Structure formats: C-alpha cells, structure tokens
A and B are shown apart, each in its own frame.
Chain A
Amino acid sequence: MAGPEIKAPPFRDIPTIPALIPGAMAASKPYVANQKVQEGIGFRGELAENWQELAIEKMGDLLGKYRSLKVYMDSCVHCGACTDKCHYFIGTGDPKNMPVARQELMRSVYRRYFTLPGKLFPSLVGAKDLTKEVLDDWYSYFWQCSECRRCSLFCPYGIDTAEVTMAARAIMDHIGLGQKYSNEILAKVNKIGNNLGLPGPALEDTLQGLEEDVKEETGVDVKFPLDVKGADVLLITPSADFFAEPHIDSLIGYAKVFHAAGISWTLSSYASEAGNFGLFNGSYEMMQKVAMRIRDSALELGVKRIVVGECGHAWRVAYAFWNTLTGLGGGGTDPFSIELQKQLDPTFRQPSHICEVTWDLIQQGKLKFDKSANDHRTITFHDSCNVARASRMGDSPGGQFDIPRNIIKAVANNYVEMEKSTVREKTFCCGGGGGVLTDDLLDIRVKGALPRMEALKQVSDHDGVNFMATICAICKAQFTKVLPYYGFNMRVVGGVHQLVSTAIKLGDEQ
C-alpha cells in the first residue's frame, strides 16, 4: 500500500482521555465513487457545479422528512458528555472526531441556512457557510464515524449521532460526492444479489465444496441447499460467509444446526446478502431496494420462516426496518406483504436471528454438544454495535447480549467477560463498521480499534483469552485485518457459530 506507514498507537492505561491533536486525521479521505458507479445507483456522476445549492436543498428535504434530524440539530447543548466515548477520537486524538465536534460540522451549516439568528448574525451563533473547505471536512470526518451510536448512549438528550452522519452522507451522495467502497457494493448487490458480486454458479460451487469438506471432516452428509422451493427456512446471511475466513466457519455452523435439528432450509442465489449498505448511506430508498430482494425471494421459494445469519447491521435492518420496508414482520398492507404474512409461520419470530434459532433449539434439548471440543479455546464475546444498541433478541430485555453468550457457554467450557465498560450496550465498535471497512481507510480502522484491543489485551494477559467471538461479518473482517497490528494472531477472532460448529454432535452419530 502506498502512503505513510500505518502503526497502531501504544496501549494506554485505562481509563484515559487522549491529548488533543488538531487536524491529525484531516487527510483521511476514502476514494470517491466514479461516475459509472454513482450513476449506476441513481446519483449524480460527479460533484455538481451548483453542489452547494443542491446540498442545502437536500438538507432541507431531509429536515422536513425526518423530524428527528431537526431535533438532533437543535437540541445539542455542547455539554461534552460524548467527547471521549468515540473509539475514533480515543484512537486519534483529533478533536473533530469528538462526536459533538463531528456533528457540529453539520450543525453549523444548519444554523446558517435554516435558523433566523444564523441567517442574520452567523458569527454570533457559530453558523458557517457551506464552503468547499467545509465540504472537505464533511467528506473526511463523516467517513470517520462508524455509526456505532456509542456516543448516543451517553448523550443526555439521546441525540442519535449516527443519524446525523447518515444525513451528511445522503447529502454528499446527492451532490455527486459518493464513497467508492459503499457505492460499489450497492451497485453490486442490486445487480448480482450480494455485496461481493458472487454469481449463482460460483455460490453453488462454493456450497458444494463445503458439503464435501464437512463430509470429509465428520462423515455426515450436511447439506448446504440453494434455491430449494418449499424449504421451511430461508437463511439470509452476509455474502462474506461464502467467501472469507473466519466467516465461512459460521456458515458451516448454521448448516450443522439445521441438520442436527432436522430443519429444512435453503439459501437464495437471488437474495444472497444480509448486509444492507443503504443504511450506512442514509438512503431509505436504497435500503428498501436491497431489502426487497429478500421479500421477493421468500415469496418465490414459499418459505415459512426467515432467519438472518451473523451480520450486525443486517440484523438492525431486519429487526427494525424490514416490516416497513418490505412487509416482512407484519404491518404491510400491499398485496405482496399480505401474501407474505399468510405464508410465514406466525409461531416463530419473523424474522429470527440465527442465535435465537440455535438458543431455542438448545433450550428444547434438540442440540447436543461435546463442550470439550472447544477446550483449546478461552473465549470472550465482542458485542457488535448494531446488534447491541439497535436491536433485541428473544423475549426479554438484554436478549441480544445474553443469547449469544448463553450459546457460547452451552458449547464451550472457558468463557471470560471483557472489562464491563466495553461490553453489552457500552460495547466499542470494532473500528470498521458503517461503511468504513475499506483498505483506503485502514489507518483510521487500526486507530479506531484501540479501545477494543486494550480490553482484549487485558483478558488475554490476565485470563489467557485466545478467541474473541462475534456475530458480525464486518467485525470479523475488521479484526482479522487489525489484530496483527496489536500483536495478536488474526485467528483470534471468529464467529459464535464457529464455536457451535466445533462442538455440535450431528444427529447421525448419536
């Protein structure tokens, strides 16, 4: 890779607030999406000449459409409770990475164009013209936010700072300043059905290979069905599960769970992606377009139940948005939603998380494990932000924290919790979420991983933790890349269903 050498910051004594280094990350900018990519997903090909006018217009449009955004613009009192809660601020010391300061990049523009004092006396109220310089700052710093919403947890007004970042990105997309990584992905999922661009025949080949591998390893015919009409369950999982390490080990885990429980299931080549980058870019229309593939596939295959694999933001979209986006989960009144509701089995949660499926089966005594198969591992769990702070699992509060942990404890003997200020709803982002997981942002990704790496180091040194389980494809890819910068083996990260896969007894051998 070109550019300056990327280094991890040294570990700190916990807790500490970093000294300020103004402008430290001003040069961090992801590649801009080219004309072909932009136009392919319905945005302007390049920065429009009248971009300023278009940006203000779009901001007005969003403020009118989303009352929440207007409240978030108006209600911040700059108390500073959020300042040291952001992993990117902790890792970089750049004051513009304090959530309050990052959002101020938009608030100052909001005040200038949408409030009376800002229109009349801009300098008295800290209102700023939307200049090219300000836009440059937007492009830098709104792509140094992973929309993890940890800062929001500490905000006395409950300001959802991620929503501000999403709005800023939607405005930049609108004026023709899109981010290459996210928008390329959106183009691919719309065309091919997944973020990776994995065509049906390649997926089929990969799945056949997995059947052979599992057969060789266990002697059991565990199937990885694709496009099977009339299957009970449609599994929607991130395409990284078909491609990357350690993701694929969790996919094997899901297949073993379905096999052992005797559940008929299928994957879909048309809807071979759980991830939905429309969320990251603040585009409801894009999010809906991506999600519609899942509904269409469910209808076509005639499934009774939809299950989501290990993907953090996918679970947020599924849990919180699918019903209004696609009628999946109830509430839709169009003919397809009504048909889908008739088709889906109401005795299950729709959609269900794979962890809910596995945990329910464990409680019903339908799965058996040899826990000692995981004895070489001392395991901790990294809560993924979108699951932790934007969703729920099971029937009781905190289910999204307890269920994955319960599964781990059911399949392994050695479990250790990380420092309590870094887990459950207070979890730190992996550093790669929200559309930041790209090589051109590796520097900020490495720096943003610092707080999680510190907490991991503590349990690694003290308790011998050698495996950090997680249920998010982004977390897995991000940690695989950044762990070595902090002196860990890249294999320290893995999936919850990877652990399930190791210990599960397949029905046939009992």
Chain B
Amino acid sequence: MASIEVNGKSYEIDEEGYLVNLGEWNEEVGAYLAQTENVTMTEQHWEVVNFLRDYYNEFQIAPAVRVLTKAIGKKLGADKGNSQYLYELFPYGPAKQACKIAGLPKPTGCV
C-alpha cells in the first residue's frame, strides 16, 4: 500500500490517492492532498472541505452535490449555491476531488 509523508508522519493512501484511515486526517494532510490534485486551497475551498467532513461525521457518507450546493448557498450567498461554483473550486468534480482532499472515501457507483 502506498503512503504519503506529511510533517514527518506517514499516512496510508489507496491506489487512487485517497486516505485509507479517515481518522488520521488533519489540515496539513488535506493541504498536501490538494497539492497532489493541483488545487490551491483558499478559504472558499476550506469552507467546502469542512462542510463535507461535518456531513460525513453525521451521515457516514459525503453529501449529494445538491445538498452541498444548497449548504454553500445558504452560507456564502445564492450566487455561490450552484455546482458551477464548486467546479471552479474543484475542477475534477466537487464530489470526488473535494472528498479526496477532505480525507473521505471516494463516492462509488454511477456518479
């Protein structure tokens, strides 16, 4: 199994670069994973990542894209409550790329 090293500590990742042990996640690991995805993290990115983590803690799954956009819209204004905004932040798709950075498992199925 592959691993990454952040601040002298080693973290297991799977073939696709997703963190294996979700409990090990911290912001430095998130920032590192973002780098591997060529995403430069800003405050807006962290808003999304933190929302994903909160939602995951409650429901053991990432939120539907629609749930995410609605939550972001409520928090940051209606102009940002759409998937286009999320794709600007996470070009490879908010569900998969943002999940990876947030240390969550990859959504599977026909998505």
Contact = CB atoms under 8 A, between A and B. Distances in A.
Interface of A: 1-2, 31, 180-181, 184-185, 188, 194-199, 201-202, 205-206, 209-210, 213, 238-240, 242-245, 247-248, 275, 311, 437, 439-440, 473-474, 476-477, 481
Given A198-B61, A202-B59, A209-B66, A243 B107 contact: yes
B109 A238 contact: yes
B107 to A, nearest CB: 6
A275 B64 contact: no
Given A213-B70, A244-B65, A195 B108 contact: yes
Contact of A184 (B59, B64, B108): B108
Contacts of B110: 195, 238-240, 244, 247, 275, 311, 437, 473-474, 476-477
A31 to B, nearest CB: 5
9 contacts: A1-B92, A184-B108, A199-B60, A202-B59, A242-B64, A243-B111, A248-B66, A439-B96, A440-B15
B83 interface: yes
A209 B73 CA distance: 14
Contacts of A31: 15-16
B95 interface: yes
A211 to B, nearest CB: 12
Contacts of A240: 109-111
Contacts of A198: 61
B67 interface: yes
A342 B75 CA distance: 51
A353 to B, nearest CB: 17
Contacts of B108: 181, 184-185, 188, 195-197
B64 A243 contact: yes
Main secondary structure of the interface of B (DSSP, over half): loop
B70 A196 contact: no
Given A195-B110, A206-B63, A240-B111, 16 more contacts: A31-B15, A195-B109, A196-B108, A197-B61, A197-B105, A199-B61, A202-B60, A202-B61, A213-B66, A243-B64, A243-B65, A243-B95, A245-B66, A247-B110, A476-B110, A477-B110
Contacts of B92: 1
Contact of B67 (A1, A196, A209, A477): A209
Interface in B36-72: 59-61, 63-67, 70
A198 B63 CA distance: 9
Interface string B69-98: 010000000000001000000001101100
A149 B16 CA distance: 30
Contacts of A195: 108-110
Interface residues of B, number: 23
A244 B15 contact: no
A209 B109 contact: no
Contacts of B17: 2
Nearest to A274: B110
Contacts of A1: 92
A182 to B, nearest CB: 10
Nearest to B96: A439
Nearest to B71: A209
Interface in B7-52: 15-17
A244 B111 contact: yes
Nearest to A490: B87
Contacts of B67: 205-206, 209
A185 B109 contact: yes
Contact of A275 (B61, B70, B109): B109
A195 B15 CA distance: 20
Contact of A205 (B15, B59, B107, B111): B59
A31 B63 CA distance: 25
Contacts of B60: 199, 202
B111 A477 contact: yes
A90 B64 CA distance: 35
Contacts of B109: 185, 188, 194-197, 238-240, 243, 275, 473
Contacts of A248: 64-66
B17 to A, nearest CB: 8
Contacts of A194: 109
A60 to B, nearest CB: 33
A273 to B, nearest CB: 8
A244 B64 contact: yes
A201 B66 contact: no
Nearest to B66: A248
A205 B62 CA distance: 12
A240 B70 CA distance: 18
A294 to B, nearest CB: 16
Contacts of B61: 196-199, 202
A428 B64 CA distance: 29
